Amino acid sequence: MGASVPEMPKPVDDAGRRRGADVHRLGFAGDDAALVAALRRGDPGAPASLYDRHAPYLRRVIARVLGVDDEIPEVLQETFAQALASLDGLDDPRRLRAWLVRVAVFTARGVIRKRRRQRWLRFRAPEQVPEAPQAARDPEARLMLRRVYEVVERMPEKERVPFALRYFEGMELVDVADACAVSLATIKRRLKKARHRFAALAERDPLLRERVRASPHFGVDDG
C-alpha cells in the first residue's frame, strides 16, 4: 500500500541508553504536545509511543468507515506512515488525535475509491461484522449489522464516510467535519443526503425497514 511504519527501536539497558530511548522503554508520560515535540526531535522511542497511544482508537475509526475488512491492519499502518511523513503539517500539536483521525479517514477513503474503480463489493458472513457489544451475543443483531454495512457499501464515498463517523462511531458534527476536512455546513448537507439515501436503500430490506422508520436519526435533520 505505500510506505510502511519505520521499525520501532528496541529497548536498551542503562549502559546503552540513547537520547529518548526511555520514551520507548518506559512509555511516554507526557501529553500529545510533548509527544509531537519528541517526534520532531527524533527521539527513537517516540514513534512506538505514538502507535501505542493512538492505534486502538484509529483502528476503530477505520473499521467504522470500511466495515469488516482484511485490509484494516494495512490501512492502520499506512495511516501512521503518512502521519510520520507529514508531521510538519500538524499546526497544533494539542490536536494530534483529531489530526490523526483526518489522516486515517483520508487513507480509508483511498481504499474505498480504489474499490469503486475496480467494482469490488464485499458481503460478509454475519459472524464477520464489525465490533459491536450487542452483536457479539445476539445472532439477530449480528445479521442486522451485516445488512447495515451492505447498505452503507452502496453509498457514495462522500456520504458513506461522514455517515459512519457520525452514526457508527458517534463523533460530534464538528469532529466529523474536521475528519473529512470540510466545513460544518458542508458536513451537515452531506449527512442529510446520507440519511435520506440510507433510508431509501434500507426500505428495500424487510429486516431494516421498520428499524429505520423508528430511528430518531431519520426523522429530523442532524444538528
pLDDT tens digits, 26-62: 467 789 999 999 999 999 999 999 999 999 999 999 9
Q: And the C-alpha cell for 110?
A: 483511498
Question: From CA 167, how far away is CA 28, in angstroms rounded?
Answer: 32
What's the CATH number where 23 sits? 1.10.1740.10
150 and 118 in a common domain: no
78 and 29 in a common domain: yes
117 and 9 in a common domain: yes
Q: Which domain holds residue 179?
A: 127-223
Residue spans of alpha helices (H) in 7-156? 21-26, 32-41, 46-66, 72-85, 96-118, 133-137, 139-152
Count the domains in the chain.
2
97-118 pLDDT, tens digit per residue, is 999 999 999 999 988 887 665 4
CA 144 distance to own-chain centroid: 21
161-213 pLDDT, tens digit per residue, is 999 999 889 999 999 999 999 999 999 999 999 999 998 999 988 888 887 77
Is the pLDDT at 159 greater than 60? The verdict is yes
125-140 pLDDT, tens digit per residue, is 334 444 444 444 577 7
190 and 176 in a common domain: yes
pTM: 0.70
110 and 12 in a common domain: yes
